[in-house]
């Protein structure tokens, strides 16, 4: 059914229906589609789930050591800031100051500042030393700008050389920045601000399983004792 709009056109009224896999299973039972087609539709079940590859600190160090110097700087920049590749490539020397990075060109169009750790400040002091303020912060040793295809190639090579399995992509450096902070007690709202997510739901969606662990740690560590009397009685094992 549809409803008639001005000008005589019809607009479909969207009504939520059953999930696609369920619809396909029903169609298969009615012999309206093949089993092969159903397998294809079922493979789309996880298409909207975010990638959840997070690097540990030791994996990140191994990966960095397997990279050439100029690309290692770009990767370090991602790990110290959590910036997207496009945001990193748009940085100039003048975007670093007062212990933070000023992100002027973000995915959502909203500027933000990202504070740096002491080691992050030292790193950006090194890569900006002696350079004019309008110089691009990250370039290849040849002076040529980085392209996305370069990031994909160098990440694949470094993962292979460092035996990182499953292999990581460049965007996983950003995800790892968020996960490492979350595991050390940072709240979801803090991660949202640092990563420039426009909606807190996005942050919770990407880091859902890590947040559950963090919540459990907080409860175990922060909830006070209420003077429970100890007992020698133990529950029966199932």
pLDDT of 28-51, one tens digit each? 445 554 444 545 444 444 444 456
Q: What is the pLDDT of residues 108-153, one digit of tens each?
A: 778 999 999 999 999 999 999 999 999 999 999 999 999 999 999 9
14 pLDDT exceeds 80?
no
CB atoms within 10 A of CB 6: 5
Q: Domain ranges in the chain?
A: 18-44, 57-220
Classify domain 57-220 by CATH architecture.
Orthogonal Bundle (1.10)
What percentage of residues in the chain have a pLDDT greater than 90? Answer: 50
Q: What is the pTM of this model?
A: 0.70
Task: Measure the CA–CA gap between 41 and 35, rounded to whole angstroms.
Answer: 10
């Amino acid at each position: 059914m549809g409803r008639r709009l001005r000008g005589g056109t019809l607009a479909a009224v969207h009504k939520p229906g059953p999930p696609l896999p369920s619809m396909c299973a029903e169609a298969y039972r009615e012999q309206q589609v093949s089993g092969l087609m159903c397998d294809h539709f079922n493979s789309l079940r996880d298409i909207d789930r975010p990638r959840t590859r997070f690097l540990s600190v030791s994996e990140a160090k191994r990966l960095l050591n397997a990279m050439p110097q100029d690309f290692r700087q770009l990767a370090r920049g991602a790990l110290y800031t959590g910036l997207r590749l496009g945001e990193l490539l748009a940085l100039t020397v003048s975007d670093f100051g007062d212990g933070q990075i000023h992100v002027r060109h973000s995915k959502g169009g909203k500027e933000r500042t990202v504070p740096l750790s002491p080691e992050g400040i030292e790193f950006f002091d090194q890569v900006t030393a002696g350079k004019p303020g309008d110089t691009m912060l990250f370039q290849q040793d040849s002076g040529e700008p980085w392209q996305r295809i370069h990031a994909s190639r160098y990440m694949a090579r470094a993962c292979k050389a460092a035996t990182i399995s499953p292999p990581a992509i460049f965007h996983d450096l950003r995800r790892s920045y968020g996960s490492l902070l979350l595991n050390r007690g940072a709240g979801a709202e803090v991660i949202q601000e640092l990563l420039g997510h426009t909606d807190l739901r996005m942050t919770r969606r990407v880091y859902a399983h890590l947040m559950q662990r963090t919540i459990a740690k907080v409860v175990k560590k922060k909830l006070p004792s209420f003077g429970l009397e100890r007992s020698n009685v133990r529950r029966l094992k199932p």
